[in-house]
Amino acid sequence: MGFVLRSDRPIMNRLLLAVLLLPCAAAAAGPDWAAYLGDKSASHFSALKQITPKNVARLEVAWTYHAGGVDPNNRSQIQCNPLVIDGVLYGTTPDLQLFAMDASTGRERWRFNPASEPGLAKSAVNRGLAYWAEGEDRRILYANDRFLHAIDARTGRRIPSFGQAGSIDLKRDLGRDVTGLSLQVTTPGIVYGDLIVMGMRVGEGPAPAAPGHIRAYNVRTGAFVWRFHTIPQPGEPGYETWPPNAYQHVGGANVWAGFALDEKRGIVFCPTGSAAFDFWGGNRIGENLFADCLIALDARNGKRLWHQQLVRHDLWDRDLPAAPDLVTVVRGGRRIDAVAQVTKSGHVFLFHRETGEPLFPLREIAVPASDLQGEVAWPTQRIPVRPAPFARQVFTYDEITDISPESHRQVLERFVKARPHVPFQPPSREGTIIFPGFDGGAEWGGAAVDPDGVLYVNANEMPWILNMVETRRQGSESSGSGLAIYNQICAACHGIEKLGNKAQNVPSLVGLGQRMKTDAVLALLSAGKGVMPSFAFLSEKQRQRVADYLLGAAEPKDAAERSGPGTDAASAADALGSVPYTMTGYNRWLDTNGYPAVKPPWGTLNAIDLNTGDYRWRVPLGEYSELKAKGIPPTGTENYGGPIVTAGGLVFIAASRDERIRAFDRKTGKELWSAPLPAAGYATPAAYMANGRQYIVIACGGGKIGTRSGDAYVAFALP
C-alpha cells in the first residue's frame, strides 16, 4: 500500500503525515525496557519524559521487592539489569532464580529455580535477560551456569520444545572438547529474528581454558545455527597471528560483556576478551586475532564483515569490558551511523558502523618489551587521538595520594619498588602498576548514549599492582605437586599465601582444615560454586593433591604422575606444566586506611560529545561520608554498574559503594537528586512506564568490594 502527498491538499497532507508518524512516535516513547541495557543497540536510553530536572527531586520509593537468596557472608550480588515488558518486570535473585513481577506494584507473579530441575546448576552471576515473542509465544531467554533456558514468560516454566526439556548445554558446539573446563554465561545473548547470538565467560588463568567462539541458536528449537571462531583455524583469516595449531589448546577471546545489534542492517557487534592466560602469552606469540577485538558479524550467518583489534597480544587483561553502543554522529553536516566502544584503559573508540573505519584517528605508540621467560610483547599498541581518555593514564609521583601524610608515606614506600609506570608496561616480578586498574576505566556497566551523540560513562580511577611469580616455587620440583597446581589454578584469586581477597569476595583458605573436610574440598574442586569455576579437568589424583596442600597434608611421593595418556582430562591437566608464571592475585593498591593509592577522584561520571570528541562535563561519582565530615570534597568511589539517560533530560546511576542512587542533569552534570539504597546498586537501572507512571528501578545486591549484600529491587517514581 502506498501514499502520495498532493500539492493541492496541504491540510490532508499534514493529517496524512501525522498518521504515518504515529507508529514511530509510539515506538520512540515506548513504555518498556524491552532489552538488556534498554534496547538492542545497547544505548541505555529511555525516551520517557515524565521525570525531568524540574521535578526529579520529588522522586520517592514506589515499591521495594525483596527477592531472598542473600548470602549471610556478604558474598552474593545482584548485577541484573531487568526487563520490563507489558507491565511485567523480569529479573534474577542473588541466588540466581528468575522471577516475574507486576512492574507497578512489585508483587511477584512466578519464579523459576534452575537448581530444582534435574541436571541444572546455579553459579556465577547474572547481568540480564533476553526476550523473544511471536503472537502468544513469549519467551525469556535466561542463561545460568553453562545452560541457556527458554522460559515461558507467562508461566515461568521451561518450554519443552527448546533444546532438551527447555535448555541447551553451551559446552557443546564449540568444535573442541571442553570437558571439565570452566564455561559460564553471565551476560545475556542478543536476539535477531529467530536467532539468539551467545557469548560466554571462560577461564582466564594459567589453567586450561575453553575457546570463546561466538555461536547462534534457533530461538524456537534451540538448534545450533552458526559459529564464529574467535581463535582462527587453518585457512581462516587471522590464523597467522597465532602459533601453529594454537586453536587446539589456547582459550579465551570470548564475548563476556554483551552485544549490540543493528537490526536494520543485520549486523551484530561483538567485543571480545583477552586470550588465556591473561598475563603471560609465551604460548601464543603474535597479535592474537580475534582477541581484544570489536567484530562486526552478519547476524544471519556469522560471517565477519570487519574487525578492529584494540589491544594486540594482551598481557594486561584489557579485554573489552562492555557492550558497544550504536550511536549516530554528525560530521560536516552529515549524519553517520557509528559504533562506540569503551575500554578498561579509559578510551572511547568510535568506528563507522558499516565499514569499521575509525571516525577519530588512531595513534600508534611504542610499548616496552617483556623480560619474562618465553614472552614477546607486541612492540606497539593503538590509542584514539580523540576523545581524550576518561581516566588518568600514568601513575607518577605527583599522583600519589595526599589524603593524609601517613597514606602518602606508605604508598611512596611501595611506589619506589615497582617499575616506573607507563601505559602497557608488561607484567613483571618486581611489580607492574596497572592504571587504570583491572576493573577500569570502564567496566561491565558500560556507557549510555543519547540521540544527540553524547556518551555518558562512569569510570574507576585506581591503581592495581600486578606481581608475577614462577609457578614452581619454594622448592617444588614437579608441575604435578599440590603447591604447583594451586599456584596455577587458585593463586590468581586466593593469592599465593592463600589469604583471599575481601574486595573481590574471595575467601581466605588459611586454616581451611578447620572449616572443611577432604570430601567437601574435593567436591568443590570438581563442581565449583558461585563464581568459582569447576576444575573437573584435573584428574582425581591432582584434585587430591590440591586438597592435601590446602588442608596441610603431606605431599605424596608420586606427585609427578598424570591421569594417564590419551584422555581429554590428561591432555588438559598436562597443560598445567606449560605455563611458567602465575600472578599473586588481583590486588588493588590501597593505603593503610583502605583508600586508593592515587589522589582523588577515585570514581567519575563523564559526558563526551562524540560529534566533536570534546567533553561536556566530568563529575565525581560517590563519596565517603567520613571524608566529607572532615571537609574533604567528594572524592568519588570505586563503582560497578552503568548509567541510563532519559529524554526527560536526566542521567540516572547507582554503582557507587556509598549505597546511593543519583540523578544528574544531562546537560550540565549537576547532581539533582540522590536517595539511599538498602545495599549498593552494582547494576544498571531501568526506566519504564506502568499505569501512566514513570519508574526508575535498580537492583540492590551489594556484595562487592567489601560492602554488604542485599536482595532488594527498589523502584522510584513521582508522587
Domain residue ranges of the chain, discontinuous segments joined by +: 146-184+188-321, 472-578
Average pLDDT, the chain: 91
pLDDT at residue 158, rounded to an integer? 98
Range scoring the smallest mean pLDDT among 52-61, 529-538, 607-616: 529-538
Task: Considering only residues 541 and 431, tell me which one the structure prediction assigns the higher pLDDT.
Answer: 431
Q: Which three cell numbers, joined as nine digits, stand for 90?
A: 523480569
pLDDT at residue 29, rounded to an integer? 45
pLDDT at residue 574, rounded to an integer? 56
C-beta atoms surrounding 501 within 10 Å: 18
* Whole-number Å distance between alpha carbons of 577 and 489: 11
Does the bond joining 441 to the residue before it have cis omega, within 30 degrees of 0?
A: yes
Query: What is the average per-residue pLDDT within 692-718?
Result: 97
- Name the percent of the chain lying above pLDDT 70: 92
pLDDT tens, position by position, 392-410: 999 999 999 999 999 999 9
- pTM reported for the whole predicted model: 0.91
pLDDT tens, position by position, 595-611: 999 999 999 999 999 99
pLDDT at residue 473, rounded to an integer? 59
User: Nearest-5° angle of CA 369, CA 373, CA 377?
Assistant: 30
Does the bond joining 436 to the residue before it have cis omega, within 30 degrees of 0?
A: yes
Task: Considering only residues 205 and 619, tell me which one the structure prediction assigns the higher pLDDT.
Answer: 619
Does the bond joining 423 to the residue before it have cis omega, within 30 degrees of 0?
A: no
pLDDT at residue 21, rounded to an integer? 35
Domain 472-578 has CATH 3.90.78.10: no
pLDDT tens, position by position, 336-375: 999 999 999 999 999 999 999 999 999 999 999 999 999 9
* Whole-number Å distance between alpha carbons of 461 and 468: 23
User: Nearest-5° angle of CA 172, CA 142, CA 38?
Assistant: 125
Q: Tell me, which fold does domain 146-184+188-321 have in CATH?
A: Lipocalin (2.40.128)
Cβ–Cβ < 8 Å for 489, 181: no
pLDDT tens, position by position, 531-584: 777 787 888 888 888 888 888 877 665 544 443 333 344 455 456 667 899 999
CA 675 to chain CA centroid, Å, is 26
Query: What is the average per-residue pLDDT within 34-54?
Result: 98
* Whole-number Å distance between alpha carbons of 642 and 650: 14
Query: What is the average per-residue pLDDT within 504-515?
Result: 83
pLDDT at residue 18, rounded to an integer? 37
pLDDT tens, position by position, 291-332: 999 999 999 999 999 999 999 999 999 999 999 999 999 999
Query: What is the average per-residue pLDDT within 246-266?
Result: 97
* Whole-number Å distance between alpha carbons of 211 and 229: 8
Q: Using pLDDT thresholds of 50, 70 and 90, give the confidence band for residue 674.
A: very high
Query: What is the average per-residue pLDDT within 213-229?
Result: 98
Q: Using pLDDT thresholds of 50, 70 and 90, give the confidence band for residue 490.
A: confident
Going by C-beta distance under 8 Å and a sequence separation of 6 or more, which residues neighbour residue 333?
Answer: none
- Order across the sheet with 224-228: list the strands: 190-192, 195-198, 214-218, 224-228
pLDDT at residue 400, rounded to an integer? 98
pLDDT tens, position by position, 513-544: 888 888 888 888 887 776 777 787 888 888 88
Cβ–Cβ < 8 Å for 381, 393: no
**Backbone φ and ψ of 454, nearest 5°:** -100, 135
Query: What is the average per-residue pLDDT within 434-442?
Result: 97
Helix (H) or strand (E) holding 546: helix 540-551
Determine whether 527 is exposed, middle or buried from the number of CB atoms within 10 Å of its CB (0-12, 13-18, 19+): middle
Q: Using pLDDT thresholds of 50, 70 and 90, give the confidence band for residue 478.
A: low
Residue 191 clears pLDDT 90, i.e. is over it: yes
Ordered DSSP codes for 290-327 = TTTEEEEEETTT--EEEEEESSSS-SS-----S--EEE
- Name the percent of the chain lying above pLDDT 90: 79
Range scoring the smallest mean pLDDT among 128-137, 337-346, 495-504: 495-504
Question: Beta 293-298 vs 304-309: how paired, if at all?
Answer: antiparallel
Query: What is the average per-residue pLDDT within 472-485?
Result: 66
Amino acid at 428: S
Question: Beta 644-646 vs 45-46: how paired, if at all?
Answer: parallel
